[in-house]
Amino acid sequence: MFLPVDMAYYRMMSHRIMHEVFLTITDQFEQVSVDEGYMDVSGALLEWDKPSAIGAWIRQQVAERFNVTCSVGIACNKLVAKMASTNAKPNGMLLIPAARSAQFVQMMPLRGIPGIGPSLEKRLNAWGVHSVAELAQMMKPLSYRPLDRPPRRADCGRPRMVWIHVRSQQPAKRSPSVQNAP
Of residues 108, 45, 61, the one with CA closest to residue 82: 108
Query: Cα separations (Å) of 91 from 43, 98, 128?
Result: 26, 23, 36
CA separation for the pair 163, 103 (Å, rounded)? 15
CA separation for the pair 180, 21 (Å, rounded)? 11
Provide the CA 27 distance to its chain's centre, in angstroms: 19
Residue 103 CB contacts under 8 Å (≥ 6 apart), including other chains: none
Inter-helix orientation angle 7-20/51-66, to 10°: 140
Q: Are 167 and 72 in contact (CB under 8 A)?
A: no
Cis omega (within 30 of 0) for bond into 146: no
Catalytic residues: 36
Q: Are 86 and 73 in contact (CB under 8 A)?
A: yes
